[in-house]
Amino acid sequence: MAAYADTKLANTMFAYAFARRFGHRGVRASSVDPGWVPTKMTGMSAPGDIRESDRLYVMLAEDSGEAEGTNACYWESGSVGPARSKEEAYDEEAQDALLEKLEEITGVAVPN
């Protein structure tokens, strides 16, 4: 569970870093917590509504509805408007360290 939570935090930090670095170029990056929804990974007994998660992803992709004009936001299934992510996700030094570590692992640098 800890590894899963760490990857969700890293995904959110990655989105915030990209929004910060490329927002001035029109790039928008946000993250979504779809909640516990029925999938092959979570099982079909999960109580969440996967259609709500789909709605969030489409809204962000289309820049429509509540997401219109937003950037660097964290969206939770079932919530109206952006939510607050874990405090650690907003740490810009940690975001940059994550990108450096990913470059070290993959050999792919994020452009400035």
pLDDT tens sequence across 34-90: 888 888 888 888 888 888 889 999 999 999 999 999 999 999 988 889 999 999 999
Is residue 57 domain-resident? yes
Q: Can you give the pLDDT at residue 1?
A: 81
Q: Is 2 within a domain?
A: no
Looking at the domain assignment, is residue 65 inside a domain?
yes
Q: Residue 93 gets which letter from DSSP?
A: H
What integer pLDDT is reported at residue 80 of this predicted model? 86
In a domain, 68, yes or no: yes
Both tokens of 25, joined, read 């170029």
Domain that holds residue 75: 11-101
pLDDT for 8-33, tens place per residue?
999 999 999 999 999 999 999 999 99
CA-to-CA distance for 91 and 93, rounded, in angstroms?
6
Q: Is position 94 within any domain? A: yes
- What is this structure's pTM? 0.88
pLDDT of res. 88: 97
Q: How many structural domains compose the chain?
A: 1
Quote the pLDDT of residue 39: 85
Specify if 76 maps to a domain: yes
